[in-house]
Structure 1
Amino acid sequence: MTGGLIAAGLGLAAVGFGARYVLRNQALIKKGMESLPVAGGFNSYYRGGFDQKMSRSEAAKILGVTPSAKPSKIKDAHKRVMIVNHPDRGGSPYLAAKINEAKDLMESSKS
């Protein structure tokens, strides 16, 4: 019984000290967050939908690669994006189809 009270008190103290640290160092934390690298340039989203006929630049944006990416980069990017968006894991079948279309377009135009 007293062990639970002691653990709860220590937990509240830790939360209090953590909150005090955050409040005192907001500028430092903000500067640190801004300096973190953003993988694939996802800090700003592409505004717009899909084109009627997919272009090479649209396919590159979907996969997160450059339009002149090598086949190995295209394959790795497709795998990475598909793992997150696969319908068997709760992703959208439409997005999975678009990801596959992007990979096919990027690979076919490289050959």
Structure 2
Amino acid sequence: MASSVIVAGLGLAVVGFAGRQLLRRMPSVASKLSETMKNLPNFDAESMANSKYYKGGFEPKMSKREASLILGVSPSASKLKIKDAHKKIMLLNHPDRGGSPYLAAKINEAKDFMDNIK
């Protein structure tokens, strides 16, 4: 009984000392954190222009470039590669699985466009 009281007292003392040290170091940690936040790069429109994602909406009429961007294949991809890319992207965006019907239609339009070119 007495040993458990001693252990509890020592535990409280350790927590108290640790809390005091944390509070003493808090101003320097806060200043370092604010300095680090200032040095982070800005994510504005210019930095997003260089991202790997296509910026902008769909064109009024499907083009070879747009169809290849939608499917994620090169404009000169084979029919098998187009079919595989279509299947992969439709599994992720099918309306029955919570995807957008509009995006599914554009994906199908891109596949049909690429198939008709070849």
- Range class of TM-score, shorter chain: 0.5 to 0.7
1:108 paired residue among 89, 102, 116: 116
Q: 2:83 maps to which residue?
A: 75
Once residues 56 and 44 of structure 1 are traced to their aligned partners in structure 2, the CA distance between those partners, rounded to angstroms, is 19
Deviation at 1:109, TM superposition (A): 0.5
Q: TM-score, normalised by structure 2?
A: 0.57
Cα RMSD (Å) of the superposition? 0.8
Please give the secondary structure, in 2, of the residue aligned with 1:99. Answer: helix
Count of paired positions = 68
Please give the secondary structure, in 2, of the residue aligned with 1:81. Answer: helix
Once residues 44 and 66 of structure 1 are traced to their aligned partners in structure 2, the CA distance between those partners, rounded to angstroms, is 15
Once residues 44 and 70 of structure 1 are traced to their aligned partners in structure 2, the CA distance between those partners, rounded to angstroms, is 23
1:48 paired residue among 56, 61, 86: 56
Amino acid at match of 1:82: M
Unaligned runs of 5+ in 2: 1-50
Once residues 88 and 79 of structure 2 are traced to their aligned partners in structure 1, the CA distance between those partners, rounded to angstroms, is 14
Please give the secondary structure, in 2, of the residue aligned with 1:83. Answer: helix
Q: TM-score, normalised by structure 1?
A: 0.60
CA deviation map 1:15-48 (0-9, x unaligned): xxxxxxxxxxxxxxxxxxxxxxxxxxxx611001
Runs of 4+ in 1 over 2 A off after TM superposition: none
Once residues 112 and 100 of structure 2 are traced to their aligned partners in structure 1, the CA distance between those partners, rounded to angstroms, is 18
Seq. identity, %: 69
